[in-house]
């Protein structure tokens, strides 16, 4: 009977005797028998760790990870970046892994200082002065951002570029059921948001993505102007790797920056746990969701860190809180600080440059294949969209046979009527991402396999 309990039979008997009880079931005598579970749980009997490991071995064998035999050109918001041994080792330290939320700062300076360093890095990459201690993922960070905008403007209308990842838009749509926000998805033409296609008056938020989910770098000046004219907050979903070499979202005039932090040291991990990035202007700080770490001093005058502006939070403000977030993704934030520390100023720029150069190398060769067309003619960063003569899922399946995860079919992310692409094109569109981990040889193999697959 495997478990992790320390109690010996003798100790259990003596503890029960201390309580004046005869059996351990007596502890539950005050639970009405009408609701008690008779006969126990209908679950398989417990197994030893090695036996459970054998079951997981079978499950693992039924997956194809992006390891040696499946070269990854898949992105769509989750990217195959280098995570070195040193980052994995430090972020696996059990002091970080098995701690609770840092409610007792005297014995939580490790996590608190790491979050402070993370906040600093995210603030700089966002181009905004305040970054919180993390949210669940990019999609839910956007939900918090639009809630912030609705609170700031006392309005309900959200203008969201359909260049924002389809899953993020879907999550915003789900939570709008409760908040009553009106979501308007602004169409793209050639990868560029058509803000003039919608009534922008009375908006709470104008939301753009940089780059957008098709990989396109849009000029954000128009979105900023729309936000200013309508009195909305300008929210940008920004890529933290791109932010090291491109204009920051803050530089484009964003009031709030959200992002998916997975590229900062977190494994692909089948979609989670990832990391919701969130930064904002000082004007919005009282509406900030989630935790914030601040610097202060202890009674001896030494520098110390502590969670601060706690009066915004649910455990104090209850139904008037800015957000219901409690547990967030601290370990991923600590990991991001370690990963960014490992890359450093120059390494992050190097990674970003290699992504952009590699993506353009792949793009230019793929476009030489007959029948492969650009889904957008606009500038891009590490990902781009192409259309093929055949359904995207079919092409990708043939690439998989060659040991290549050749990209993501947009049809796997969005419905056929999504306003981001013309009708009839979406199911023939593939997103292809190139990170600093892809070699020339791998890209050349992708191009050769692609040429065969679209014939």
Partner 1 sequence: MTKMIYAGGRAASAPLLGHETEPTLFEISSPGRSAYQLRTTGIPAVPLSDVIPAAHLATDVVDIAEVSERDLVGHFTRLSHRQFSVDLGAYPLGSCTMKYNPKFCDAVAADPRFNTVHPAAPAALTQGWLELMVTLEETLCEVTGMSAATLQPAAGAAGELTGLLLMRAYHEANGDVRRRVIIPDSAHGTNPASVTLGGYDVTTIPSDERGLVDLAALKAALGPDVAGIMLTNPNTVGLFEDEITEIAAAVHDVGGLLYYDGANLNAILGVVRPGDMGFDIVHMNLHKTFATPHGGGGPGAGPVAVSSRLVEFLPGPKATRLEDGRYDWTTPSRSIGRVHGWHGNAMVLARALAYINVHGGDGLTRVAQHAVLNANWLKKRLSATLPAAYDRPCMHECVLTSSQLKADYGVRALDVAKSLLEEGFHAPTVYFPLIVDEALMFEPTETESVQTLEALAVALETIAERSRVDPDAVRHAPQATPVTRVDEARAARHLIPTEDAAQRA
Show contacts with partner 1 in window 303-362 (CB under 8 A). 303-306, 308-311, 313-321, 323-332, 334, 337-338, 340-354, 356-358, 360-361
Is residue 246 a contact residue for partner 1 (CB under 8 A)? Answer: yes
Is residue 408 a contact residue for partner 1 (CB under 8 A)? Answer: yes
| Residues in CB range of 188: below 8 A, 6 or more apart | 161, 162, 163, 194, 212, 214, 419, 420, 421
- Cα(445)–Cα(167) distance, integer angstroms: 30
Pick out residues in 374-403 that bind partner 1 (CB under 8 A). 379, 381, 393, 396-397, 400
- Cα(293)–Cα(417) distance, integer angstroms: 43
The pattern of x and - marking residues 25 through 44 that bind partner 1 according to CB under 8 A reads x-xxxxxx-xxxx--xxxxx
Q: Which one-letter DSSP state was computed for residue 37?
A: P
Contact 159, 206 (CB under 8 A): yes
Pick out residues in 252-271 that bind partner 1 (CB under 8 A). 260, 267-271
Q: Is 99 exposed, middle or buried (0-12, 13-18, 19+ CB in 10 A)?
A: middle
Coil, strand or helix at 257 = strand
Neighbours of 340 (CB within 10 A): 24
Residue among 71, 145, 146, 147 that touches partner 1 (CB under 8 A): 147
Residue among 114, 207, 214, 447 that touches partner 1 (CB under 8 A): 114
Residue among 93, 201, 452, 455 that touches partner 1 (CB under 8 A): 93
- As measured in angstroms, the least distance from the Cβ of 245 to partner 1 is 6
- As measured in angstroms, the least distance from the Cβ of 436 to partner 1 is 5
Shorter beta-carbon distance to partner 1: residue 369 or 413: 413
Query: Among 92-100, 155-163, 188-196, 228-236, which window interacts with partner 1 (CB under 8 A)?
Result: 92-100
- As measured in angstroms, the least distance from the Cβ of 78 to partner 1 is 5
Coil, strand or helix at 437 = coil
379-416 as b/e, with b when 16 or more CB fall inside 10 Å? ebbbbbbbbbeeebeebbebbeebebbbbbbbbebbee
Is residue 99 a contact residue for partner 1 (CB under 8 A)? Answer: yes
- Cα(42)–Cα(229) distance, integer angstroms: 61
Is residue 417 a contact residue for partner 1 (CB under 8 A)? Answer: no
Shorter beta-carbon distance to partner 1: residue 300 or 370: 300
Rg of the chain (C-alpha set): 25
Residue among 9, 69, 98, 368 that touches partner 1 (CB under 8 A): 98
Query: Among 81-89, 183-191, 226-234, 419-427, which window interacts with partner 1 (CB under 8 A)?
Result: 81-89
| Residues in CB range of 362: below 8 A, 6 or more apart | 73, 432, 434, 438, 443, 446, 447
Shorter beta-carbon distance to partner 1: residue 393 or 416: 393
Pick out residues in 41-80 that bind partner 1 (CB under 8 A). 41-49, 52-53, 55-56, 58-67, 70, 72, 74, 76-78, 80
């Amino acid at each position: 009977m495997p478990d992790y309990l320390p109690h010996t039979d003798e100790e259990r008997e003596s503890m029960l005797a201390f309580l004046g009880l005869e059996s351990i079931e007596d502890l539950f005598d005050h639970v009405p028998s009408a609701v008690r579970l008779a006969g126990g749980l209908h679950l398989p009997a417990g197994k030893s760790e090695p036996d459970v490991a054998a079951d997981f071995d079978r499950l693992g064998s039924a997956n194809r990870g992006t390891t040696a035999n499946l070269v990854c050109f898949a992105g769509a918001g989750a990217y195959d970046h280098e995570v070195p041994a040193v980052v994995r080792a430090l972020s696996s330290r059990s002091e970080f892994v098995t701690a609770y939320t840092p409610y007792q700062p005297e014995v939580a300076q490790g996590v608190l200082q790491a979050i402070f360093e993370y906040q600093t890095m995210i603030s700089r990459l966002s181009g905004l002065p305040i970054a919180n201690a993390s949210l669940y993922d990019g999609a839910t960070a956007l939900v918090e951002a639009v809630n912030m905008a609705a609170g700031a403007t006392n309005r309900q209308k959200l203008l969201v570029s359909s260049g924002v990842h389809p899953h993020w838009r879907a999550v915003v749509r789900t939570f709008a059921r409760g908040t009553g926000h009106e979501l308007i998805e602004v169409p793209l033409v050639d990868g560029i948001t058509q803000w003039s296609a919608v009534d922008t008056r009375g908006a709470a938020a104008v939301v753009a993505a940089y780059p957008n989910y098709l990989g396109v770098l849009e000029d954000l000046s128009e979105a900023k102007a729309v936000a200013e004219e309508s009195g909305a907050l300008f929210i940008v979903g920004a890529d933290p790797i791109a932010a090291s070499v491109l204009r920051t979202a803050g530089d484009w005039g964003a009031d709030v920056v959200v992002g998916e932090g997975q590229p900062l040291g977190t494994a692909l991990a089948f979609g989670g746990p990832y990391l919701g990035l969130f930064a904002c202007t000082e004007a919005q700080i009282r509406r900030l969701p989630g935790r914030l770490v601040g610097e202060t001093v202890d009674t001896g005058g030494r520098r110390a860190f502590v969670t601060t502006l706690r009066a915004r939070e649910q455990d104090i403000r209850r139904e008037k809180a800015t957000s219901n977030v409690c547990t967030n993704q601290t370990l991923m934030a600590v990991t991001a600080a370690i990963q960014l520390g490992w890359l450093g100023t120059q390494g992050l720029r190097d990674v970003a440059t290699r992504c952009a150069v590699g993506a353009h190398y792949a793009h230019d060769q793929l476009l030489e294949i007959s029948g492969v067309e650009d889904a957008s003619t606009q500038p891009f960063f590490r990902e781009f969209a192409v259309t093929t003569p055949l359904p995207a899922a079919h092409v990708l399946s043939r690439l998989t046979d060659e040991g290549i995860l050749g990209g993501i079919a947009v049809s796997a992310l969005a419905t056929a009527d999504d306003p981001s692409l013309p009708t009839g094109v979406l199911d023939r569109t593939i997103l292809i991402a190139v990170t600093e981990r892809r070699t020339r040889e791998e890209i050349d193999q992708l191009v050769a396999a692609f040429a065969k697959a679209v014939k």
